[in-house]
Structure 1
Amino acid sequence: MPTDVQRQESWLSQPELEDVRGRVPMLYVVAVPVRVDGHGSIESVGLLLRASDTGSMERELVGGRVLYHERIRDALVRHLEKDLGSMALPAVPPSPQPFTVAEFFPTPGVTPFHDSRQHAVALAYVVPVTGDCGPQQDALDLAWLTPAEAADPQLQDDMSGGHGVLLRQALAHLGHAV
């Protein structure tokens, strides 16, 4: 019995991606990068600043699609290094466990999570980073906020698509009052 599996490991073309997005839920990972002190306490939380599709500036979490035949851990590392730089040195455990699963719908109001392009399922993780970080590619800025600053309801409300909800859940998961 043959064990070879033929697969295409590259990104889908834009028309193929749009077709699949309209038919199948897409798998994503979302990471809340944190810096910890020597005792494991959270010192700061990293948020990206990007231009939205509408041209407004918004804070958001690190994240993106999981590729075909890609392990979740590898997708987390890839997106963290893409957004924070190759010297971010994310400390992703061998078998990462999400703090929550977020279901994004193209229809607003089904869940707190909205993505007009697609139905997507995102596994959300808190990931310590130990190296030098800086905004990469399409991020304009990377801000390291204290947990108290990250817990600001106004900041969370200004994050679109439900990223503020994920940030609030991550802080609660870490034991920070929100």
Structure 2
Amino acid sequence: MPVLNDEVPDEGDFDAGRRRGEFDDITPEDFIRGSAGGNPPGWLDAARVGQVRRQVPMVYVEVVPVHTDEFGRIAEIGTLLRVSDDGSVERTLVAGRVLYHESLREAIARNVAKDLGPLALPTLPPNLQPFTVAEFFPTPGLSEFYDARQHAVALCYVVPIAGDCQPQDEALDVEWVDVNGPRLATMLDQMTGGHGRIVQRALAWTE
């Protein structure tokens, strides 16, 4: 596998035969979006991502989308309905990996647009300190957070949404629930893997 830094290889290195200057024309945007000729050198395809997920913890951002009232208080929480890997419908939050050479703010904005559409108009947090860190393990019982696919460390943010949301990518629907209404408890119970606890921590953090 080619390396992503341009060090001078020693004889016998697995990348010793790599052409010098291979990364000279690569920009940060190429690593985030891919290049016209395909993915840039060192980019992981789906099979390799699956392999890495089984061996290395992944860094994620987890977003709690909210509508706020005129005083800036949380009025509604947004959740996604999507089809899980086993074919069932699950309720979850906006979430996604932090890509190579991508800042946390870029990761938040990209994943919001990926799930809620380009007109969601998120207000990105001025401070990148997450309100909590959720450690997802592929083994049930090791943590209150569970993800059968991988070991993931998720930085969690509350993000106000001002625009129009339309489900994108794998999302089937976007639903908003009044935080003071009777449906909140039902929504939390429907969230698997510990995502409901993230919402509870978000509400406690913003009180």
Higher mean C-alpha deviation, range 4-13 or range 120-129: 4-13
Deviation of the 1:61 alpha carbon: 0.3
Runs (4 or more) in structure 1 with deviation over 3 Å come to 2-8, 149-154
Consecutive unaligned residues in structure 2, runs of 5 or more: 1-5, 8-20, 32-38
Larger radius of gyration: 2
- What's the Cα RMSD here? 2.3
Deviations 1:3-55, CA, capped at 9 Å, x for gaps: 99948825521221122112211000000011112210112111111112222
What is the TM-score of this pair, normalised by structure 2?
0.77
Q: Distance in 2 between matches of 1:140 and 1:150?
A: 23
Query: Which residue identity does 2:195 align to in structure 1?
Result: H
CA contact (8 A) 1:31 1:126 kept: yes
Superimposed CA distance per residue, residues 75-96 of structure 1 (whole angstroms, 9 cap, x where no aligned partner): 0000001111111110003442
Secondary structure class of the residue paired with 1:140: strand
TM-score computed with the length of structure 1 as normaliser: 0.88
Counterparts of 1:54 and 1:22, CA distance in 2: 18
Distance in 2 (alpha carbons) for counterparts of 1:43 and 1:65? 28
Match of 2:99 in 1: 67
Once the two structures are aligned, what percentage of the paired residues are identical? Answer: 52
Q: Distance in 2 between matches of 1:107 and 1:147?
A: 31
Counterpart mapping for 1:61-100 below 5 A: 61-100=93-132
Partner Cα separation in structure 2 for residue 99 and residue 142 of structure 1:
23
The one-letter amino acid paired with 2:174 is L
Residues 1:112 and 2:156 are matched in the alignment: no
How far did 1:113 drift? 0.7
Distance 1:109 1:63, change over 3 A: same
**SS of the counterpart of 1:34?**
strand
> Unaligned 5+ residue runs, structure 1?
none
State which of 162, 165, 177 in structure 2 corresponds to 1:145. Answer: 177
Larger RCO (CA within 8 A; separation ≥ 6): 1
Matches of 1:151 and 1:30, distance apart in 2 = 22
Q: Secondary structure at the match of 1:143?
A: strand
